[in-house]
Amino acid sequence: MRVDRFLKLSRLVKRRAMAAKMVSVGAVRLNGKPVKPSVDVKAGDKIEVAFPRRLITAEVLTVDEVVLKRGGASCKIAGDRRLVENELPWRMGDERQ
C-alpha cells in the first residue's frame, strides 16, 4: 500500500492529499529514509511523521485495507514527542531516495 494512503487509512493524517504533501516535502520517513508518496509500506516498517510541533514514530502492524477501513489497529505508536520551537525533527537537506 502506498505510504500516503496508509497515513490516511491509519488516521495518522486526516486527508490523503495532505499526507501526499507531507511526504513530498520530507515530513515523513520510512525506515529512516525520506520517501516519495508512491512508495509501498509493509508490515514491520518503521514510519516517522513530523508535524509542526510533534514527531510521531510508529511501527506498521498491517496494511490490510479491509482492517484499516474498519478501524482496526494499523500501527503501534513507538514514540510521540513534542518539538520545541524551531527544532527540526531530523537534519534537513538529506538526499531523497
Read off the CATH number of the domain in which 77 is found. Answer: 3.10.290.10
DSSP state of 26: T
With respect to residue 97, please indicate whether it lies within any of the assigned structural domains.
Answer: no
Judge whether 91 lies within some domain. no
Torsion 27-48-11-52 (CA) sign = negative
Write the CB contacts of 87 (distance below 8 Å, at least 6 apart in sequence). Answer: none
User: What is the tally of structural domains in the chain?
Assistant: 1
What is residue 66's three-state secondary structure? helix
| Residue 95 located in a structural domain | no
Q: What is the extent of the structural domain holding 20? A: 3-82
Write out pLDDT tens, residues 7-35: 999 999 999 999 999 999 989 999 999 99
Q: pLDDT, tens digit, for every residue of 38-94? A: 899 999 999 999 988 899 999 999 888 888 888 888 889 999 989 887 777 765 545
Extended strands (E) in the chain: 28-30, 33-34, 46-51, 54-60, 75-82
Would you say residue 96 has pLDDT above 70? Answer: no
Does any domain span residue 54? yes
Domain assignment present for 87: no
DSSP 2: B
pLDDT at residue 91, as a whole number: 57
User: Is residue 47 assigned to a domain?
Assistant: yes
Inside any domain, residue 34: yes
Residue 89 domain flag: no
pLDDT confidence of residue 95 = 47
Q: Do 58 and 78 meet the contact criterion of CB atoms below 8 Å apart?
A: yes
